[in-house]
Amino acid sequence: MSLLTIDTRTTATGPLLRIAGDLDYATSEELRTRVTGLTLEPGQCLVLDLGELEFCDSSGITALLVARHHAAAAGADVALEAVPDNTMRILRIVGLDQILTIRPDGASTAP
pLDDT in tens, 34-88: 999 999 999 999 999 999 999 999 999 999 999 999 999 999 999 999 999 999 9
Structural contact between residues 81 and 108, judged by C-beta atoms closer than 8 angstroms:
yes
Statement: the pTM of the whole predicted model exceeds 0.85: yes
Q: How does pLDDT run across 3-25, given as a tens digit for each residue?
A: 999 999 999 999 999 999 999 99
Interior angle at CA 63, CA 26 and CA 4, nearest 5: 45
Does the domain made of 5-103 have the CATH classification 3.40.50.2300?
Answer: no
Beta carbons within 10 angstroms of residue 72's beta carbon:
12
CA 85 to chain centre: 15
- Report the amino acid identity of residue 37: G
Structural contact between residues 70 and 102, judged by C-beta atoms closer than 8 angstroms:
no
